[in-house]
Structure 1
Amino acid sequence: MSVTTTTHLNFRGDARAALEFYRSVFGGELAVITYQDAQSVQDPSEAEQVMWGQVIADNGFHVMAYDVPVRLDYDQGEKSCFVSVRGETVEEITAFWERLTEGSTVVQPLGPSGWAPAYGMLKDRFGVVWVLDVVGDYAG
């Protein structure tokens, strides 16, 4: 059983540029999936924006990022990051989810998604937004 936490940064149209900059600073590999790649375009202007991206380096640096869709509220100072918890099994993530939901507001119920066997998002009673998912292969 292995769990990792990663800072997940939120942008409105600047995620790719930010990830490219962080890669230039810390090194590592850049991975980006656009809304178009994931067949999840709801606004044509967002097709090439980042639905999921990360920079991960051998030196231990790891950051994730995405472009918040225009249909969702976004305030750079208020919702600038999530805490991402990634586990290896649905059972493992479900157990964490059940404990974190106490006093929380569920943003996206935990369940299967197009990119993971389980994915969910909640805002805990302290105002921290958590994204929990299970390691999965992208089939895009």
Structure 2
Amino acid sequence: MKLSTYLFFNGNCEEAFKHYEKVLGGKIVAMMPHEGTPAEAQTAPEWQKKILHACLEIDGQMLMASDAPPEHSGGPMQSVAVSVNVPTPEEAERIFKDLSDGATITMPIAETFFSPRFGMLTDRFGTHWMVGAEMPAEMADCGVKTSEMA
């Protein structure tokens, strides 16, 4: 089984994915507007150039998205966050900083009991992010040391 994250944007999917491609070091492998597809006939003229499907590949993983007209979006992204874990605190700090432009910081990036660097924000596109450096080996089991489980 493979799970992937699929985000819905309010018309700025292309801009968001180009930003994420740069920040996360991935590659956009699909950026398909409604225009020119079978969905074009059912799409309002002002949404023809909006994104029907986008896919960003990052280290063999996929982040997917589309633009959803307000009547189909279900509202803003509230209960989901994209979690990014990287090998080093420096990389976590860089990604957090690059996502922070125009963002609302909900937890500044700092050392925590479960990560050498961890922070949370909602970026200017409305996506919630959790950015952290990988946990030390002794905390690899969801932040609990094996010795503490007995």
TM-score (norm 2): 0.45
Higher relative contact order (CA 8 A, sep 6+): 1
Question: Which structure has the highest helix share of the two?
Answer: 2
